[in-house]
Amino acid sequence: MAKKARFVAGGVCGLLLLTVLILTAQGVKSDRSAYCTRVIDGDTIELSTGERVRYIGIDTAEPKDRLGKVITEFNRYLIEGKDIRLEFDIEKYDKYNRLLAYVYVDDIFVNATLVERGLAEVMTVPPNVRYRKHFQQLQEKARKSKRGIWSKG
């Protein structure tokens, strides 16, 4: 009888683990449509809901300096006043309660575009690392081509 109880308990635990894995995987793949009402800077925007979104995996100069202003304006050109798609990773919010997302407008992957043009540095914060290798490859190409922030040296 004890063997049967252990077998049943093991089966229940296995099913619970499988359920958690499935739900986690579904959460990781979640997307959301949104509308960008305002670009705050090169890596932060505001949605029509009032929520702020911080781009995952990158960091840009602040708009207080000249390069930061250029980057902010480029980001504004890309997405302000447009319908966008947010793709989430493992953690959905940062400590400032901003949504953390990979951002797309039409077929443009905004996070990657900023890195590719040398307008952002790779900055990954685990566990949100889905595109880390892709971003690092784009950054290396931008650096070798002396684009954007890499043009000075």
- The catalytic residue positions are 54, 62, 98
Strands 31-41 and 83-87 come out as: antiparallel
Q: How far apart are the first and last CA of the chain?
A: 73
Q: How far apart are CA 8 and CA 126, in angstroms?
A: 36
Inter-residue contact 133 to 73 (CB < 8 Å): no
Query: What is the SS3 assignment for 105-134?
Result: ECCEEHHHHHHHCCCCEECCECCECCCHHH
